Structure 1
């Protein structure tokens, strides 16, 4: 009994650790992608292809070791839908990193939870409530402050991370559905298997797939870290409720800022800080509302 209790108590700690690890891995991935595209001139479609193709290559030994059990699923349709949403989000995100400084891109993509709320209401018929509507409006307002569309410095390319956030919100909804019946490693594997051929076709249409020199080494690292990050992210959602792990996900903001500053000397402008603060605050408000709902449901049960 004591062993079982200790195991249950360890679950939230492991979930938090997995979420922080995923955030750190994604920050390094973003730095590698921005260096290879913005600095070394690799087309964003080619960078996206190599990131996930190499990720699949790193995952193959583990796939071969597990055999057919790694591909066992009863939800192929959901895997296909997840891959469709993810590939569009990935292409938009990498294209954004090729044009937008990393601190702005990561702050804008943090509007994804508010797209999740909209998606859950529109497509799943979930009740949202005034707290989440308020948080959603506040979160998008924070994004507007960072974008500054009313200023002469506004760049339309900055909308690419926002569009990526919308498609990744759809991916998150499908992922949460899949984790109810699928293992974390199988979900990660299916994503890599389905993304690779689509990314290859897009890269070929954009001028080819050949990458060499320092860019290749950066993308090899991005591929390895992508596998690790996706696995840790899925593991975090399996070990604890989304409401618990969400605050740890916000650590990706300072982690990405640190990577951008150390690697490229990118420093956020004044408009970034109030906008980012509003986005993070709105996300925490959603988390608190989720906890309140969970407690209310438990008392009712």
Structure 2
């Protein structure tokens, strides 16, 4: 393949990752809401199974790759990641449609902006504030607090967005001094045990029958999604493929509609469009800024 075709290859892998994530979300909704399997146990088993598929990578890296000068930062990042997973799964267990959950979780980059300004002291440019305002307006349309539609279930995806935004900030801090292999290994080896503690607290469930089959399928699909994500970033510049990540929202809408029978209605489409517009505008304006700096 010609070198100039690699960016398109990266974009294709990113789209495939979004489709795989949408499939995993539909499986989580089915297992937790439709079949009544506890959300905490679903999170544990799905990530445990995905970790099993990652054993070849873990074996190649070895425990020595986990040496670090910042164990507390790694620990905090993993705790925030687990809390995000738990909130994300609880949203499905409450019956929220996957597209609705994913749309609200896509506000995470805007929380990262706020966190970078407050906790890292970074200067937040006007374009970033504008992107955050557009995204939050979309989120409010989906949450509809003025109609009394704001419930604990609808706040779960927002909580997941905040937790994952915090984890992203810590990852940004760690990448300045830590190798990527160490950051990945810490997450792979500790995410499942901590999810296990939540499952034990809620009443540990062992999957059987159709639930077991769906969890194995979900773990495999989750691993495939992560693999496609890795291939996407390996095939093209991150700035080029990142906008294609936002297409996962449409993947989730399609899967929610075709498989589960859910689709946005009325003003919800406006909320979805604003969240997507805010995210894409942020990526575009940041990209333009990088090009301007490089040309100077």
- Tell me the TM-score normalized by structure 1: 0.87
| Structure 1: unaligned runs, 5 residues or longer | none
Q: Is the alpha carbon distance of 1:13 and 1:71 closer, same or farther for their aligned partners in structure 2, counting shifts above 3 Å? A: farther
The 2-side partners of 1:116 and 1:281 are apart by 17
Aligned to 2:41: 46
| Structure 2: unaligned runs, 5 residues or longer | none
The 1-side partners of 2:76 and 2:235 are apart by 24
2:23/2:255 contact within 8 Å kept? yes
Q: Is the alpha carbon distance of 1:65 and 1:114 closer, same or farther for their aligned partners in structure 2, counting shifts above 3 Å? A: closer
Name which of 85, 88, 103 aligns with 1:90.
Answer: 85
The 2-side partners of 1:233 and 1:173 are apart by 20
Cα deviation for residue 182 of structure 1 reads 6.2
Aligned to 2:54: 59
Q: Is the alpha carbon distance of 1:233 and 1:80 closer, same or farther for their aligned partners in structure 2, counting shifts above 3 Å? A: farther
| Structure 1 position 212 matched with structure 2 position 208 | yes
The 2-side partners of 1:174 and 1:18 are apart by 26
Name which of 281, 289, 296 aligns with 2:292.
Answer: 296
1:138/1:279 contact within 8 Å kept? yes
The 1-side partners of 2:179 and 2:125 are apart by 32
1:15/1:240 contact within 8 Å kept? yes
The RMSD of aligned alpha carbons is: 2.6
Aligned to 1:110: 106
The 2-side partners of 1:17 and 1:240 are apart by 10
The 1-side partners of 2:180 and 2:188 are apart by 13
Name which of 247, 252, 256 aligns with 2:248.
Answer: 252
Aligned residues: 295
Cα deviation for residue 122 of structure 1 reads 1.7
